Chain A
Amino acid sequence: MSMLLTKRLARSLWRTKLRLSAVILMVSVGVFAGIAFGAYANSVTTLYDDIYADDDDGVNLPDVWVENNGGNWDGNTSEKLCQDITNEWPINELTLNKCEARLKSSGQLFSDDDEIGMVTAVWHGIDEGELDRVWIPEHDCCSGRTASAANEIVVDQHAADALHIGIDDIINISAGAGYSMGFKVVGIGFHSNHLYFAQAGDLLPAEPGTFVTGYMTDEGLEALANFNPGESNLLLLDISGTPESEELASLLEEISIIVSENDDSPMIVYDRTGIASVEFLRADVEGAMKTYPIVTGMLAMVAGITIFLSLQRLIQSQAKEIAVLRTLGVRQISLMPGYVIAPIFIGITGGVLGIIPGVLFGAPGMITMYESIMGIPIINPEISASMVLQNFAIAMAIVFLSGLRPAWQASRLQPLEVLRGQHEIRLSSKGLQKVTSIFPATVGLTIRSSVRKPVRLMFTFLAVGLSMLLFGSMIIMMDSMGNVFLGGLEDRQSWDAQVFTLDGQEGIIEWADENDAVYEMALMFPGTPENDSRQLLAYGLENVATETGESMYLVDLAKGELPSSGLETPEVLIDEGINNFLGWEIGETHSLVFGTKTVDVKITGFTKGEISRTVYFYRADLAEKIGLQATVIMLQLPDGVEVDDELAQNSLGITMREDTLASFETIMEKQQGMFYAIEGLGIMIAVAVLFNTLIMNLAERDTELATLRVLGASNNRLGLMLFGEHLAIGLIGGILGCIFSLIGTKIMISAFAQWTMYFTISASTSSIFILIGIVVFISISLTPIGMWRIKKMNLVDKVKDLSQ
């Protein structure tokens, strides 16, 4: 008996092929997306593990960095510091493997190509090279060997590719010494600090051809930068095994004390979270790892809701047959299997249809896109069977659960009630009837019909909300992206170039005066909260202001007041992220650590729009505390004046406003395809969900509509009623979908928020209108389908039905 019932159910489902296909498609899209994201997350995790590994193939990423922000240590000092750290090693449970001194300097590359001209650079002088080695994998991307002679260099693959630099080329470079030198390229590879190829302080990957990094011997960099032999500004510490985070925090604090007791340079001690590239890529992978089961689950849930509603409708339409069977003695348990098998069939079909393109196209596509955006080759792509099965299992579990309740409902139908037709009576609530009685009957009927099945409607809104979360999150993200990634560059910053220096501002100011450029000095200096190893960036601005014209770098004050300068305890603004993570409030005084100096600051307000943790000082206040006057000179260039080699040779690096804006446009262009695909997917699913519910609503109202047609109601009148109903559903669904998108995106963002990358999102009014408008549009677009259905009604048959 149950087999025949199952066959009957299969035939019934087959009659709703369009709806069935839509549901299967939703499951397959969920599995497809899960596999694509999962493969990306797994492959990238494996890639980073391989790159950072402490073995011959890996780069042996250090665990602790000690960086001198105020200049270089001479050879003896750096050796002594390493010796002091070794001798005074503070935590017995951890073993120090190696302490290696390094030299790093900003600089420029001068291209022979006039169109490229001067390129901002970072040069690494690598001494022993046991830690944080250059990574030259056996892959088409890379070739050559590490530098061994003083005039040799390995160029980062990102830059080599963009600047068309090859092995044996001679490149002309400088490092702030006032002259340039030629270096022979002996290798093309990567370095852990620059896997994510962005300039210091930038979140966007550098626009191709605007940034270069190179890895030479320490002698090579000493010669280039006119440093003394043995000078260094970095100590790399490698510890056996992987220390626990608490042990590591304590170790950083102790090492900071050891170093500051033995040297008074402004230095900072940090772990891997202090390396922007490492941390950014880790956060990216962590985000992808968290996201892919959610994406699959969310899409499967939308499919599950659609299955649930469709099965409920099917059971309602088959209620009389079920009642007859029950009257004839068929057991409740015999009725259930078909309704359980249906979603399993849908899940398996959708799952298989998602797995095949997911493995063949989705996963490779995501990996290729990652390679294109990040510029890092994924050498061993990983599309594991367990990840595929995990996605399939999530989809199956959700889809299976969606069939249980309708199956149970089918088995619980009371034959007498069904045969009397009582199960079909569905009235709107008394309260709603009372409220709507003030309207004309047509309007009252429209409203009451719309909410006649509140559970179905709520589930529909939930499904629309989920699908709009896909669309909405993209819209809202794109809305906030400019703010997040550009840090207000377009709205709040009016400089044309930022020229970096380490207290060597005289040459730059001279250049500015000669070229009639307006300049403003600023400080950017890393620090930490007291008793906390996490890094923040202190800005020292000439004028901490919000109004155009008052400063080349305006702050976006979210709460509180602007600080005053020259007070004994400097007044500062902190970003919302610091407030969020440390709970620091306006009016409170807290301590910040800059190298060996601890500075008490009073908070007067919060700023927004900073993705990194930021504190804003008056430059004079910060300069007094850290002993540096400027690390960056912001320039406004008159028409026709461009930065030149003279300026470059007197600086440690130059960031051009137009390059940063171009980077943003490039990354948006690269990701646009994916954004549009996700937006389109969200809309398609919302269409399918609304279509499903509205068609079911219409089908259930056949009798009602047929009666009105027979009684002479015109198609246009009925169409107007349907339009009103769809408009109401669209409006409510749109508003709920918008709220869902906002809350969902905020939850998603806050789940990924961390010290090094914190941002809040806000939707613009136009985005809110788009979100609501799309659902309203979808909903009312389905009115013609309803009208077509009414128009094609065979009234003779309907009258026959009405009389039976």
Chain B
Amino acid sequence: MLAQSNERHEQPVSRRNFLKNTGMVLGGLVVGGVAGSLLRKPEAPQQPGATPAPTADYNQALMYFSPEQFKVVEAACERIFPEDEIGPGAKTLGAAYFIDHQLAGDWGFNARDYMQGPFFPGEATQGYQGRLKRREIFDIGIQELNNYSNSTQQKRFHELAAEQQDAVLKAFETDEVKLTTISASAFFKMLRASTLEGVYSDPLYGGNKNMDGWKMKNYPGNQMAYTQVIEKDEFVKMAPLSLRDHQH
């Protein structure tokens, strides 16, 4: 495990035990029933941070991308957050699956964004003013990554060597690639941001596989309390917990 250290391991506090031990008695008015709902299930708490036995990951199938699109996105994510001596890269962490799943839902459809017209180009300080949804921007961006790779290297993006892929991504990042429908740099920015989301969001979304993104960063994930840590001078490492540990 990446986060193993020689330091004393803080025993993560199980949520149910935490609430039992603090004896949180809500006197006077009742201010909410979180205690009640948490104490509902009497079963023994599971081993904190226990990793389930490896099984097939049924989450790793495509909801939106074609297999060809997926290859491009997976290769690009890996260049943004590559595997190295520190630990796994975006590919192993499942970031491309994460992006695929996100584009299939609300986020991909800009469901909670204001998408009504009229549409006018604005100043940079006014933010995105296009009519395209994120999934459409990805469709175009992926195609353009292939087009640019084909025109400069006669290969598709995912077939290029790592350094060549970097050069293509750099050309998008700096708007050296001129596109008519979308902004190359804005697409790159979205790709970079969603790669990091895929690396570091809770594993329930399909990325950050096995919490290895968190382990690299010494991020403890979903812990109930840091009252024992907050005043400590030394850095306290602990095995991360995910939201799954909360539910099961």
Pair from one complex: no
